[in-house]
Amino acid sequence: MEKATENASKYYSFNSERIVLKEEVTPFAEIWKCPQSGAQSLHAKILFKPGDIISSIGARNYVKKPNYLSVQVGEERHILLDPVFLQYINHSCDPNTHFDTVNMQVVCLKEIGVGEQMTFFYPSTEWSMAQSFDCLCDSVNCLKTIQGAKHLPSEVLEKYQFSNHILNRF
């Protein structure tokens, strides 16, 4: 069923002296894959400005319990993303996109240049994550361990934009 993936163009490219496998998944973004680590990320193919709507968010399925691919859109609602490539938007403690789960849109928070990785702040939608992980985002204010909004120290809450279903629980 994943025609978009089958027809996508894949090519190798050098990035800071490393080979990266790139796959165009839509005219405005491509997935980059590091053949060594297997790490995958979504990168802009065009310039985005704050406030730009990058993509609509749809649900290709609902899951009862959160997993490492799901996004929480309500107190008891977790979706698998449509388009699928949105799941390659990785977490950052200094994100450049926001998942607006009311209007169901990915919105640009900070300018994203061509080739730049798109990121979002996982706890902005996730109350309590299925799997916590150690963040390696390298931002000055990196929170180190990411496990969901429930576990965030109160002093960082005002720095981020959160979904309504998260704000309602604070």
User: Would you tell me which residues interact with Zn ion (CB under 5 A)?
Assistant: 93, 135, 137, 142
Nearer to Zn ion, 84 or 142 (CB): 142
Closest separation in Å from C-beta 140 to Zn ion: 10
Bridge partners, 62 (sequence order) = 79
Nearer to Zn ion, 22 or 123 (CB): 123
Residue 24 near residue 13 (C-beta atoms within 8 A): no
Closest separation in Å from C-beta 134 to Zn ion: 9
Closest separation in Å from C-beta 161 to Zn ion: 16
Residue 82 backbone dihedrals phi, psi, to 5 degrees: -135, 120
- The alpha carbon torsion through 15, 51, 77, 122 (nearest 10 deg) reads 40
**What does DSSP assign to residue 87?**
G
Nearer to Zn ion, 8 or 142 (CB): 142
